[in-house]
Amino acid sequence: MNTFLSRLNSLFAMTMTVLAGLTFCCFLSTVHHTHHSIAKLDTPSVLVRQAPDYMIGHEINDLGHMTLNIDADLNHLFNWNVKQLFVYITAHYKTEKNAFNQVVLWDKIIRRGESARLQYSRVNPKYYFWDDGFGLRGNPNVTLALQYNVIPNSGRLLNIYAEGRHVVSMPENYIKGRA
């Protein structure tokens, strides 16, 4: 009953109970923090061309090209329970083929201790802006939004839209050659 292994088991169980309680208190201390911020997005250059998608057997689709201006200060989102932020820009639009399209154009991971001030001018998207058809050319309502995941040490994983969206009207004409 009082063997070395039973005492070790009791010590381990007590340690895990105390750690679980402290982790829950860590979560409770920051559960009511607001994680809202304002972002300013702009697109100085927007182009559309037709290109073969080699992943789907050379099918021709619309491919959007744009440069992005990003301005957002996310430093206030960090507290002692936030480990990192996963920040990304998405494009939302409607086509005849699909009622809702969402494409990730750019992303960045910001760890605790790094500056969370995003000031980028004329940055190219990291990912291709493909449409699964011909829904980009002449689309008047492509909305760009900055989103971020707040990744805590303990607690909920939050997915938040920053205030301040940017609406882009795609050009009516395709460009020829490389963008």
Q: Is the pTM of this model over 0.85?
A: no
Per-residue model confidence as pLDDT tens digits over 122-138: 999 999 998 888 888 88
Per-residue model confidence as pLDDT tens digits over 78-120: 988 899 999 999 999 998 888 999 999 999 999 998 999 999 9
CA dist., res. 162 & res. 164, Å (int): 6
- Of the pLDDT bands very low, low, confident and very high (cuts 50, 70, 90), residue 177 is low
- Of the pLDDT bands very low, low, confident and very high (cuts 50, 70, 90), residue 54 is confident
Cβ atoms 50, 62 nearer than 8 A: yes
Q: Which residue type sits at 7? A: R
Residue with tokens 């882009």: 168
